[in-house]
Amino acid sequence: MLSSLKAPATETRGRKNSGGVEFHAVSKTFPDGTRALHDISIHCPAGEATVFVGPSGCGKTTALRMINKMILPTGGSVTVNGTDVASMATTELRRQIGYVIQNAGLFPHKRVIDNVALIPRLLGEAKSPARERAAELLKLVGLPAELGRKYPHQLSGGQQQRVGVARALAADPPILLMDEPFSAVDPIVRRDLQYHLKSLQAELKKTIIMVTHDLDEAVFLADQVVVFRPGGIAQVDTPDRILTTPADSYVEGFTKGNAGIKWLSLLPTAGLTLEAASSEPGSSTQVSANWILQNDANGRPQSWIPAGSAASNAAGPIPVRSPFVHGTDMLNAALNSAVLSPSGKAIATDPQGHTRGVVDSREIHLAVMTAKGRIDE
């Protein structure tokens, strides 16, 4: 029904993957005596997304900035594809690395197209091909071409962050560093940006190393999660093992509360069995003895119409809330849809929002138990 979430142990993954970014017994003490990091070792595999997560002041941003030599370690070494960054010319190193920060960091006096084209231009590319490349990247991150003519202040916060990602990709770097890239936007835009980054990564296979304080974001985006504690590392593992097998009480405390719900965000909905529901515009489907699902004029789920015994107790149609995209959204979205549905059935749509079918809450429960059984194997 659902693919296994079982992943090899961290150490095995580290040996099998060549290249990427590695921290070898790295420490950092600042001139004022503040010890930011002590003897940390991490392997961030090539072509995968590694997310550093932890409370403020635990050293995760310090570690990130060591990769492109913005901060130098006082002990140990950081390597990129096996080469110590300390031995590399800073310019040459940073040509291999894209960097995305909070609030995008765009130049306000340059048009969007020129913000994206800036890095290729600095690397010697002619203006016309650099702009052509920039236009392609704006499309890649989901922005219409006409936004290239605007200035950053004319864009929304989410659009600015997309431009920041496009600019980081402009020189086609194998490594992408992201420092709290989505923390300054509202939750709805943030989720949209996370989905888009996940989609981009599936296509581009960059070595992404990202810093966040948001465990939900880390679990959703990461192939590997690194949980930082002040000055060091508590656990390096796959998202499912961070949630289901915390290394110690610190990690358990960091993940507790709704770790089970977070774990559902790792389970795909593609394997759920859909019950039939009409996708025709304006049509309706009786999905249970007491409830009818009504589509709008575009074939999207619109409302629940009470029938049978429910009709006598209802004031009228109930608007549909939170349908999930079948095969794209994760099981937590399906469960949320079922909980909010008066029929107890989640509504599944296609990526354009058209009705595809419904899923009984018992089917969702079976999917959870199936996945849990496979993890316990």
pLDDT at 224 over 80: yes
For residue 19, the model assigns a pLDDT of: 74
What share of the chain has pLDDT > 90, as a percent?
64
Strand partners, 209: 50, 177
Give the tens place of pLDDT for each residue, 150-168.
Answer: 999 999 989 999 999 999 9
- Answer with the residue of higher pLDDT: 140 or 50: 50
Mean pLDDT of 71-98: 94
Task: Give me the sign of the Cα torsion angle 211, 216, 222, 225.
Answer: positive
Give the mean pLDDT of the chain: 88
Q: Using CA atoms in the order 108, 113, 116, 120, what is the torsion angle rounded to 10 degrees?
A: -120
**2 has pLDDT over 50:** no
What are residue 129's phi and psi, to 5 degrees?
-65, -30
pLDDT tens-digit profile of 301-347?
A: 999 999 887 776 667 899 999 999 999 898 999 999 999 999 999 99
Query: Distance between CA atoms of 361 and 339, rounded to whole angstroms?
Result: 8
Tokens of 103: 């609030």
Residues 6+ apart with CB under 8 A from 231: 35, 36, 37, 38, 58, 59
Residue 16: predicted pLDDT: 40
Tens digit of each residue's pLDDT (9 = 90 or more) over 92-149: 999 899 999 887 788 999 999 999 998 888 888 898 999 999 999 999 898 998 999 9
> Six-digit token pair at 242?
């961070």
Query: What does the alpha-carbon distance between residue 128 and residue 122 come to, in Å, rounded to a whole number?
Result: 13
For residues 288 and 343, is the Cβ–Cβ distance under 8 A? yes
Report how far residue 148's alpha carbon sits from residue 138's, in angstroms, rounded to the nearest whole number. 8
138 close to 111: Cβ distance less than 8 angstroms: no
pTM of this structure: 0.81
Contact 290, 308 (CB under 8 A): yes
Whole-angstrom CA distances from 193 to 48, 179, 302, 309 are 18, 14, 26, 43
Among 192, 107, 116, CA closest to 148: 116
Rounded to the nearest angstrom, the gap between the alpha carbon of residue 337 and the centroid of all alpha carbons in its chain is 21
The arithmetic mean of pLDDT across residues 265-288, rounded, is 92
Q: Which residue ranges form the domains of the chain, and what is each CATH number? A: 284-374 (3.10.580.10)
The sign of the dihedral angle between the CA atoms of 122, 124, 127, 132 is: negative
Neighbours of 187 (CB within 10 A): 8
Tell me how long the chain is: 377
pLDDT score of 373: 76
Residues 280-301: tens digit of each pLDDT: 999 999 999 999 999 999 999 9
| The pLDDT value given to residue 374 | 66
